[in-house]
Amino acid sequence: MRAVIQRVTRASCTVEGIVTGRIENGLLVFLGVEDADEMEDLQWLAQKIVNMRIFSDENGLMNKSMLDVDGNILLISQFTLFAQTKKGNRPGFVRAARPDKAIPLYEAMLSELESLTGKKIQAGIFGADMKIELLNDGPVTIFMDTKNKE
């Protein structure tokens, strides 16, 4: 499982002209699922997302988590995080999980994040043509891969 996590002042997702998710002050999380992913990967990543200290404290240092600042999350499915680009100019996506595996894990991530934060998690629509708008704060952008835990 891979995630690109961006600290944002605001972010929104629109599908066919309809806003499906919108947040202020929090994290925009792009999530990619691969065939090898399991619930253990999901739980590890969810804990990291909500507890990562990437928000500024009173001294301007990144010492607070999104839980500490009462932040929000916008979760977007992003199979292209598993793009393979070594050959040619067209990326391949053979490592990305097919919808029958990816959708349940994406929905489980929504539930896990809601459980950890006690908040409704805003989201895009899996597999849709989504338009994402954001104002990156910092900028702070973190890439995580659950296969690199150790």
For 117, the domain range is 2-138
pLDDT at 94: 85
Residue at 59 is within a domain: yes
In a domain, 121, yes or no: yes
- Residue 88, pLDDT score: 87
**Number of structural domains, the chain?**
1
pLDDT in tens, the chain (150 residues): 999 999 999 999 999 999 999 999 999 999 999 999 999 999 999 999 999 999 999 999 999 999 999 999 999 999 999 988 888 898 888 889 999 999 999 999 999 999 999 999 999 999 999 999 999 999 999 999 999 987
Residue 35 lies in a domain: yes
Q: Which residues are catalytic?
A: 80
Confidence (pLDDT) at 29: 98
CA distance 55 to 64: 5
Q: What is the pLDDT of residue 87?
A: 87
- Report how far residue 47's alpha carbon sits from residue 139's, in angstroms, rounded to the nearest whole number: 22
> Domain with 123 in it: what CATH number?
3.50.80.10
What pLDDT does residue 16 have?
A: 97
Q: Is residue 149 part of a domain?
A: no
Strand partners, 92: 84
Question: Is 143 part of a structural domain of the chain?
Answer: no
Question: Burial code of 75-113, b = ≥16 C-beta within 10 A, e = fewer?
Answer: bbbbbebbeeeeeeeeeeeebbbeeeebeebbeebbebb
In a domain, 145, yes or no: no
